[in-house]
A = this chain, B = another copy of it.
Amino acid sequence: GDAPDATDFANYFCTYAFLFHQKEMLEDHKRTGAYYTAIMQNQAQFKDKVVLDVGAGSGILAIFAAQAGARKVYAVEATDVAKHARKLVQHNRLGSIISVIQGTIETVELPEKVDLIVSEWMGYFLLRESMLDSVLVARDKFLKPGGALYPSHARLYVAPIRSNLTHSRQNEFRNAMEGWASFTDDMQRYYGVRMDCLNDSFRDEQKQYYQQTAAWADVSPNQLAGRPWCFKQYDLLTVTPQEIIDSFKEHFELQIIEAAPIEAFAGFFDVQFKGSPENPASFEVLLSTAPDPQCSTHWGQQVFHLYPPINAQPGDRISGDINISRKKENHRLMQVVFQHCIIPRQQQPQAATPKLQSTERVDFFSIE
Contacts and interface: CB of A to CB of B under 8 A. Distances in A.
Interface of A: 5-7, 9-11, 18-20, 23, 26-27, 29, 32-33, 36, 60, 63-64, 67, 84, 87-88, 90-92, 180, 183, 186-187, 190-198, 201-202, 205-206, 209
B20 A193 contact: no
A36 B91 contact: no
Contacts of A60: 191, 193
A97 to B, nearest CB: 14
Contacts of A7: 6-7, 9-10
A362 B198 CA distance: 50
A176 B201 CA distance: 42
B191 A84 contact: no
A345 to B, nearest CB: 43
A186 B33 CA distance: 11
Contact of A10 (B10, B63, B201, B202): B10
Contacts of A202: 19-20, 23
Contacts of A196: 91
Given A11-B10, A26-B183, A193-B63, A206 B88 contact: no
A33 B192 CA distance: 12
Given A6-B6, A63-B193, A91-B194, 10 more contacts: A7-B9, A19-B198, A19-B202, A32-B191, A36-B190, A60-B191, A64-B191, A88-B197, A91-B196, A91-B197
B19 A205 contact: yes
Given A10-B11, A88-B193, A201 B32 contact: no
14 contacts: A6-B7, A7-B9, A10-B10, A10-B11, A18-B205, A19-B205, A20-B206, A20-B209, A26-B183, A26-B187, A27-B186, A33-B190, A88-B193, A91-B195
Contact of A92 (B32, B88, B194): B194
Contact of A23 (B5, B20, B29, B183): B183
A20 B92 contact: no
A187 B205 CA distance: 44
A144 B36 CA distance: 69
A33 B18 CA distance: 42
A6 B186 CA distance: 36
Contact of A198 (B33, B84, B195): B84
Q: What are the 7 tightest A-B residue pairs by CB atom distance, in nearest-first order?
A: A91-B197, A7-B10, A6-B7, A7-B7, A19-B202, A87-B197, A19-B205
A20 B179 CA distance: 11
Contacts of A36: 190-191
Given A33-B190, A190-B36, A205-B19, A195 B88 contact: yes
A206 B23 CA distance: 12
Contacts of A29: 186, 190
Contacts of A23: 180, 183, 202
A164 to B, nearest CB: 25
Contacts of A9: 7
